[in-house]
Structures are given as C-alpha cells and as structure tokens.
Amino acid sequence: MSELPKWLIYGGNALAVVLFIIGLVMQNRVPTARNGNRLSAIAMFIAVLLALTEFKVFEPWLIIAGVLIGSVIGLFGAFKVKMTAMPQMVALFNGAGGGASMLVSLSNLHEKSAEKLGELANANTEATLSTLTDIVMVGKDEISIMGVDVAITTILSVLIGAVTLSGSVVAFMKLQGWISGRPIMLKGRHAINLLSALIIVVLGGLACFYLEPPIPVIIAFWIVGALSLLLGVLMVLPIGGADMPVVISLLNAFSGLAAAMTGFVLENHLLIVVGSLVGASGTVLTRIMSKAMNRSLMNIILGGVGGSVIKVASSTPKAALPKTEAQEKPKTGIPAAVEALKKAERVVVVPGYGMALAQAQFEVVKLTNFLEEQGKNVVFAVHPVAGRMPGHMNVLLAEAEVDYEKLLELEESNEEFPKTDVVMIIGACDVVNPAANDPSMDTPLSGMPILEASKAKSIIVCNLDAKPGYSGVENPLYDDPKTMMLLGDALATITGIRSGLEEPEEGAAADASEAEEGGVPAAVAALQKAERVVVVPGYGMALAQAQFEVVKLTNFLEEQGKNVVFAVHPVAGRMPGHMNVLLAEAEVDYEKLLELEESNEEFPKTDVVMIIGACDVVNPAANDPSMDTPLSGMPILEASKAKSIIVCNLDARPGYSGVENPLYDDPKTLMLLGDALGTIKAIRSGLDKPQGAAAATQAPSEGGIPSAAEALKKAERIVVVPGYGMALAQAQFEVIRLTNFLESQGKNVLFAVHPVAGRMPGHMNVLLAEAEVDYEKLLELEESNAEFPRTDVVMIIGACDVVNPAANDPTMDTPLSGMPILEASQAKAVIVCNLDDRPGYSGVENPLYDDPKTTMLLGDALKTIKDIRKALGSSD
C-alpha cells in the first residue's frame, strides 16, 4: 500500500492544492461556480486517496465505519435541509470540521505520549532531565513528548477547533429557534471568559515547557479543550440573530485555521495550505459582513445589540395615535374590550390565581390562539408569586399547551409593557398593583416587584370583583381611565370576548380588508402604474417562506412589461448572501439581483419599492447625521429615494437594531402589515383581476392590423420570430420589406432564430440570408431571450411551438416541457401572424395566443405582412 514513489505523492498533493485554488478562482463567476465546487471536491478526493497510500499497515475498519456514518449524516442533512434553513446547516457542518481538527490534534497527543511512556518504561529514568535549560541544551526530541512548536500548534488547534465546534452548535440552535435568537447575556460571562483564557494560557505554557511526564500534559490539554468549548458557547450566546452573518463567517475562518494548525501538528503541508486558504476566505467574508453592518468585529463579539428600543423623534405621532384612540373610546363592557383587542398589535396576558380558580386557562389560551391567528403578538407575563406555588401559572399555561417561550418573567414583562397595546389581567390583583411602586404610600405591598401593567396603552381586567387582593391594598389600576373592568366569572368573560371577536370577526375581517383595501388595492394601483419596480427582501421574507410567492408576483409584473429587480443588502438575512440563495431557489435570474451600490443608483429611477420583511437595511436613520443610533453610518439601501414604497412587514416595529424606521411614517409609504405571504398573495390576486378587465377593454380596440400597425409605430425595439409558416407562405421577402421599412423609421429590428425553427438546422437563417438579411441581425436562442425583455413588439411569423411558454411551465407535463424556447412572452407586446391559432407540431396549445398583450392576425402571412406595411404608410 505504501510503495507509491515519493514524487507521485508530492505531485499528487501539489495537484490537489492547485485544484483547490482553481476551484476558488472559479467562484468569481456564476456560470463556473458549480464546476469550481466539483473541482474542489475532486481535489479533496485526491488528498484522501494520497493519505491512504502513506499508511504502513492498513486496517481500514475504523476509517470505513467513520466515513460511512459521516457520509450518511452529511448527505442526509445536505439534501433534506430547506433553503431557508441553510445558515444553520452550514453552521453545523462547519462545527463538525472544527471538531474534527480538535480531535485529530488530541489523538496525535495521545499517540506521542503513548510512545513516550513506552520509551520511559524501557529507558533509565535517571538519565532524563527535566529543567527548561536541560531541554534546550539536550534537544527536545530526547526527552519531551513533542517539540515546543508542535505543543503550541496543538494548543491552538484544540482551542480554535473547540471554539468552532461549540460556537457553531450554539449558532445552529439560535438559528433553528431552539434557544432564543436574542442576545443572551449571562452574568459574569466576561469574568468567565477572562478566567478561562488565563487558565488556557497558563496550562498551555506549562505544557509547552514541561512536556513530561506525559499524563499531566494530556490532562492539561484536555482541560484546554473543555475550556475552549465553554469559550465558544459564551462567545456566540450574546450575539443576536441579525449579527449571525458575521459569526458564521468568523466560525468559517476558525475552522480553516484549526485545520491549518492541525497541519502544523502533523507536519502536513497540504493541511496548512488548504486550511489557511479557508481561514483567509472566512476572514475576508467576516470583514465584508461587519463592514456591511457598520459594526466592528469586537463590537459584535461583545454582543448585546438589539436589546433596547431607541426612539426616533419622528415616531412620536405614531406612538401617540393608538393611545388617544383608546382614551376616546367609551369603555363599557365586552364590546369595548373586543374593540381594543381588535386594534391591538401587542397583547400581554397577566394570569393570576383567579384564572386558576375559574379554571379559565383553556378558554384564555383559545382566546390568545385566536388573537395570534389574527397576526397579533401575544405573550404571558408571569409574576413569580402569581398563584399558589412557584411557577403555578406556568404549569397551568403549559397544561393548556402554551409555548413556554411566550411566558415572560418579571423583568422581561416589564420591558414589554410600555410597548404593549392591551394588557389582559385575568384573576390577578396584587401582582399588578402600582401602589407597590409608589414611594408616597406605605402599604404591605410597598417595595414588592410588580408587573407594571399600568404602562401599557390600555388594560382589560377580568376579575371576579374590584375588591383588593390578598394584601388588602386597593388597586389604583382599577380606576385608571385606560382600564376596562369586566367583572364576574373570568371563564364567562373570556368566552364572551372571544365570541365577540369571532362574530364581528366576519365583519371585522371585512373591516380589516376594508382597512387593507386602503392598503392592498392602493398597492395594486401603484404597481399597475409603475414601470420600474425594485424588491427589497429581508429576513422577514425568509421567515414567512414568502420567496416563491414574491417571485410569482414579480414574474407577473414582468409579464406586464415592467422592469423588476431585487435590491439585496449584503447583510440581509442570517448569513452572507442569504437572500441571494432564497431568490435563486425561487429561480430568480441572478442578473436581477442588484448589489448595494447598484441598488442605490436604481432607487431614484424607481417607481415602486416593495420592502418584504426588511427593516434596518432600509432605515434612512442610518444616513441622518443628526442622529446617533447603532445604525449610524451603516450603508443602507436608500429605498426612500423611490417614488413610492410598499412595506410588507409583519409589524411596524423597529428591526434588530432597535432603531425606529422613519420610512414607515413617510407619506409615500404604504404599510401592509401582517404575514408577508398573505400580503403578497393578496397583491397578486388584486393585480390579476383588474388585469383581466384591462385586457377586456383592450380587446375591442384591437382591431387587428390597424392596432398592430399602431403598436409597431410606437415600438422602438422589434424582434421578428420566423417559423416554418413563413417558409410555407413564402413570406420572407415581404417580411424583409416590412423590417427594412421599420428600420428606415429609426427602429431597431432583429430576428430571433430558434435552432429548430423550420425543417432543418438553420432553415430560417438560410431563408433570411436569401432575403439578404445581415447575419448580425440574426440572434441565437440565448441572445434572443436576453433581448425579449427589452423588446417593445415581437412579431411571430408562422411559428408556434418555439415560442410556446408552456415549455417553461413546471406545472405542465407536455411534449414541449423542458424544451428551450424563444421567450417572446417577455416582450411588451406580441403580434402573431399565423395561418390559424391551432397548436403547432407538438399539439400543445399556445397560451401566448390568449395573452392580453397579444394581437392575433390570422390568415396568409404574406398578405398580413403586406397589409401591415401599407397600414404603416409604406408605398411599394
């Protein structure tokens, strides 16, 4: 096995390195990227084969088992993961790589120490020397497990590998939602970090300079590994969701560096080279990402951004609005409560012992589920002493199957209340009694931490009576003007509210859709008028899984001849290029994805910007020099420069940065709050309907040849698609007369030639050449399809199957399916000069014929073309 000549091994390794580098170079362009990836995989395969040939004894059972297990897990993950879950999958794979590097180094350490122990058992131990000077004098190899250089790189490899592993696992859990995506700030984490780092340095130093006896050295290295795992966890925990692109890039760099360090340990040049390539790549990406977020790496690692809400001056009217509404309303009974809940966006429920007594928990949860279905945000504020045992309310709510993430503790609740529209207090009294916080009163409650429900915009109290609670202290909250008192059995009250919400819910749904009618129809109208539309996708689009619906909408808009592009902010989403992947999944042509600078050049020319689930990346506050916010100076997508803006976000709350978005209050902005998926669908169906009407109104005016002539007169870019029908009608000369005439009018005329148009390869080219058409005007398939979106009028002359858009419709299974076609349907208007409107050779009906923008001129093509030319005013 081991008898490969040296030069072959060196050459093979060199080849692998070259292939890895070429693979990276091929990432520069989309068309070569996929093959670059494959080349890289081949390089990896070569490297593995070469490693196997160097074995002296070959007992591959562990290797075979390991590779099988790893392949199954890796491939299963790779093929099963949804595109939206890509960041966490990449993080997991990355963690596995870092972990492997750590394990390899530890394994090497065990091997070396086992060898040394064997030697020590044989040798005369007196001859061994133990002081630093002796080691230096005698030479490391005679006494220590390994050289100092190897010891240092082993420590680095274990440290970086372990941080990569545990950090990636935490990042995975955050992205997967297993733990909160918000920054988690453990108390004293800085102290723990510092202490761990110190211990690692000390142990590492000791291990380096006293590399024997082996056993304590091994223990020291394992402690370094364990502490490094802890460091990884503590590093990623305080980092919030939107900073994930930076973290994932950084972990990517780490996994490469860990591999490079392992290369030092094993004295393997391949590992060093390839590992540092990855390390460099990850570092560059990290820099790009943190630049795009306008944060220093240190700032992100220290974490904690996204905790507090920073108010921007212009936001005050918005905040005041619901309040005044709530105050003006007559606050009587259930209808008022129903009304308040309908308008509310953020609802907090405060359960108390009264809920337990009334056995109302299931009814409460039914109500809150209903509210959530309406797109409202509902959480529960649980006071530590609510009820009769620690965590009593938690148990009751868990019984009613409330997601435990919705149960807020005291501090979290009190942060929530000022942002809350409606607080529902159900059978609780003392725990929400503001008298506890009033320093002027001396009551049994004074100083007790309470749920500060009084800070919410309005309050609904569902208690049995208005009497004081257990403490005997009157509750001033009950007299607050913004409080609605619904006294009586909580069960009955809640049921009443829910049925109140549900019944007029039909009405309210109508109401809501009316209110939205201000929204969606206005958006539809704006889009109908628009010519240039830019879509700004954000993480919200990923969450709502709305990318396919968005692309359906944009495809529809493009069919209407509008220009639609996507503006992708470098840090939109949760990893570098996240939005690009999602849009690619939905089959958006990548040429339509604009980068930051391109987008900002585009916006001033844009009629409508659609923002879908993005906030911070379009927040103009970032550019306002008078404001000092976490966003200040961050490069943003300047959507505010467009003529009008449609925002399809879940809510109007600030994004991850906590900075209110003044764009939302811009008079040219249409806010369509709620689930983006639903909103986009509504817009599309709104666009579809009047489209039919428009087509109907257009139809009568389309009096055949005059309207075709009219269309040609206005057109600037015309493409002619010739087919076998032209050959049959011998119309090519007449066609050329027409196109020459059009060109004399200053119009640009080209011919789109499908490779199989006609009855032999290049049939149409021959016919057109015969009619003396310059061959430079004959476009091939790809060129033609690039041309159509810019084309004003496409003239189809005796062609059918080669322009049949059914070929591209994945939902249809026809003989044409998958055939590359001339996408004439992308042009602004289509004129069909065919003998009849029957399907072509394939027998597949052509939906293009029914397109509202198509003018059908049936009959002999020769005559039709002649008539068009005359209608245009050309004499013979």
Partner 1 sequence: MLFPVGEAIAAWHFWIMLLIFIVALVIGVFLIGRVPPLLHTPLMSMTNAISGITIVGSLVAAQYFVPDAKSILGFLAVIMATINVMGGYAVTDRMMKMFKTPGKAGKEKQNE
The answer to whether 811 contacts partner 1 (rule: CB under 8 A) is: no
User: Least distance in Å: CB of 417 to partner 1?
Assistant: 39
Among 172, 221, 264, 380, binds partner 1 (CB under 8 A): 264
Q: Which is nearer to partner 1, 273 or 310 (CB)?
A: 273
Spatial separation of the C-alpha atoms in residues 352 and 387, rounded to whole Å: 6
Out of 595, 770, 836, 837, the only residue in the binding site for partner 1 (CB under 8 A) is 595
Within positions 761 to 800, which residues make up the interface with partner 1, using CB under 8 A? 781-783, 785-786
Catalytic entry in 430, 616, 792, 851? 430
Region from 66-74, 204-212, 340-348, 686-694 binding partner 1, contact rule CB under 8 A:
66-74
Which CB contacts under 8 angstroms, 24+ apart, belong to 857-861?
857/704, 857/705, 857/708, 857/831, 857/832, 857/833, 858/832, 858/834, 859/835, 860/729, 860/835, 861/725, 861/726, 861/729, 861/731, 861/797, 861/798, 861/833, 861/834, 861/835
Do residues 95 and 89 lie in contact, with contact meaning Cβ atoms separated by under 8 Å?
no
Contact 282, 254 (CB under 8 A): yes
CA–CA separation, 252 and 284 (whole Å): 11
Q: Least distance (Å) from partner 1 to the CB of residue 727?
A: 24
Residue 258 interacts with partner 1 (CB under 8 A)? yes
Task: Enumerate residues 22-41 that contact partner 1 by CB under 8 A.
Answer: 23-25, 27-31, 33-34, 36-38, 40-41
Out of 65, 201, 441, 812, the residue judged to bind partner 1 by CB under 8 A = 65
430 is catalytic: yes
**Residue position matching structure tokens 């944009």:** 554
Instruction: Kindly tell me which residue out of 135, 158, 231, 260 binds partner 1, with binding defined by CB under 8 A.
Output: 260
In the region spanning residues 568 to 587, those forming contacts with partner 1, defined by CB under 8 A, are 568, 570, 575-578, 580-581, 584-585, 587
Output 52 or 515, the one with its CB closest to partner 1: 52
Question: One symbol per residue from 816 to 845: x for binding partner 1 (CB under 8 A), - otherwise; what is it?
Answer: -xxxxx------------------------
Q: What is the rounded CA–CA span in Å between residue 705 and residue 856? A: 9
Closest to partner 1 by CB, 693 or 786: 786
- Min separation Cβ 59 and partner 1, Å: 4
Residue range at the interface with partner 1 (CB under 8 A); choices 100-108, 301-309, 602-610, 700-708: 100-108
Question: Which residue, 69 or 186, is less far from partner 1 as judged by CB?
Answer: 69
Q: Which is nearer to partner 1, 114 or 319 (CB)?
A: 114
**If binding is defined by CB under 8 A, does position 93 make contact with partner 1?**
yes
Could you tell me the smallest distance in angstroms from the CB atom of residue 117 to partner 1? 12
- Give the range of 173-181, 365-373, 710-718, 814-822 binding partner 1 by CB under 8 A: 814-822
Q: Which is nearer to partner 1, 25 or 198 (CB)?
A: 25
Complete DSSP assignment for 736-748: HHHHHHHHHTT-E
Question: What is the Cα–Cα distance from 535 to 554, expressed in whole angstroms?
Answer: 8
Site residues (CB under 8 A) for partner 1, limited to 212-251: 248-249
CB of 3 to partner 1, least distance (A): 16
Binding of partner 1 at residue 367 (CB under 8 A)?
no
Which residue, 204, 214, 112, is CA-closest to 158? 204
Closer residue to partner 1, CB minimum distance, 294 or 495: 294
Helix (H) or strand (E) holding 765: helix 763-770
Token match 């009551």: residue?
443
Residue 331 CB, nearest distance to partner 1 (Å)? 52
Of the candidates 228, 329, 242, 344, the one whose C-alpha atom is nearest the C-alpha of residue 290 is 242
Closest to partner 1 by CB, 47 vs 456, is 47
Axis-axis angle for helices 189-209, 148-176 (nearest 10): 150
Output the smallest distance, CB 595 to partner 1, in A. Answer: 5
Q: How far is CA 639 from the centre of its chain?
A: 19
589 binds partner 1 (CB under 8 A): yes
For 617, which DSSP code? G
Of 453, 480, 477, 492, the closest CA to residue 354 belongs to: 492
Single-letter code of the amino acid located at 23: G
Q: Among residue numbers 388 through 447, which ones bind partner 1 (CB under 8 A)? A: none
Backbone angles phi and psi of 670, in degrees to 5: -105, 120
Cβ of residue 144: shortest distance to partner 1, in angstroms?
15
Q: Which of residues 5-24 bind partner 1 (CB under 8 A)?
A: 6, 10, 13-14, 17, 20-21, 23-24
Residue 263 contacts residue 272 (beta carbons within 8 Å): yes
Contacts of 666 (CB under 8 A, 6+ apart): 640, 645
- 447: helix, strand or coil: coil
Report 45-64 residues binding partner 1 (CB under 8 A): 47-48, 51-52, 54-55, 57-63
Q: Which of residues 544-563 bind partner 1 (CB under 8 A)?
A: none
Nearer Cβ to partner 1 (69/696): 69
| Cα gap 845→814, rounded to integer Å | 10
The residue from 259, 764, 831, 856 that contacts partner 1 (CB under 8 A) is 259
For the bound state, the minimum distance from the C-beta of residue 645 to partner 1, rounded and expressed in Å, comes to 23
178 scored as a contact of partner 1 (CB under 8 A) = no
Closer residue to partner 1 in complex, CB, 142/403: 142
Of residues 178, 470, 590, 841, which one binds partner 1 by CB under 8 A? 590
CA distance 634 to 290: 10
Counting residues that bind partner 1 (by CB under 8 A) gives: 134
Pick from 5, 810, 811, 875 the residue near partner 1 by CB under 8 A. 810
Our CB check for partner 1 shows the closer of 362 and 548 to be: 548
Q: How far apart are CA 47 and CA 469, in angstroms?
A: 74
Residue 449's contacts (CB-CB under 8 Å, 6 or more residues apart) are 410, 436
Q: Any idea which residue has 């569902």 for tokens?
A: 462
Cβ neighbours, 10 Å, residue 545:
15
Shortest CA distance to 308 belongs to which of 654, 662, 661, 665?
Answer: 654
Name, in order, each residue with C-beta under 8 angstroms of 483's C-beta and a sequence gap of 6 or more: 331, 458, 459, 460, 461, 477
Find how far residue 46's CA is from the centre of its chain.
35
Q: Which of residues 265-324 bind partner 1 (CB under 8 A)?
A: 265-285, 288
Within residues 101-130, the interface with partner 1 by CB under 8 A covers 101, 103-104, 106-108, 110-111, 114
Nearer to partner 1, 566 or 603 (CB): 566
Binding mask 125-154 for partner 1 (x = CB under 8 A): ----------------------x-x-----
DSSP assignment letter at 816: T
Q: Does 642 bind partner 1 (CB under 8 A)?
A: no
Task: Give the Å distances, CA to CA, from 156 to 159, 225, 284, 551, 800.
Answer: 5, 10, 21, 47, 67
Q: How far is the CB of 496 from partner 1 (least distance, A)?
A: 51
Cβ closest to partner 1, residue 54 vs residue 409: 54
> Active-site positions?
430
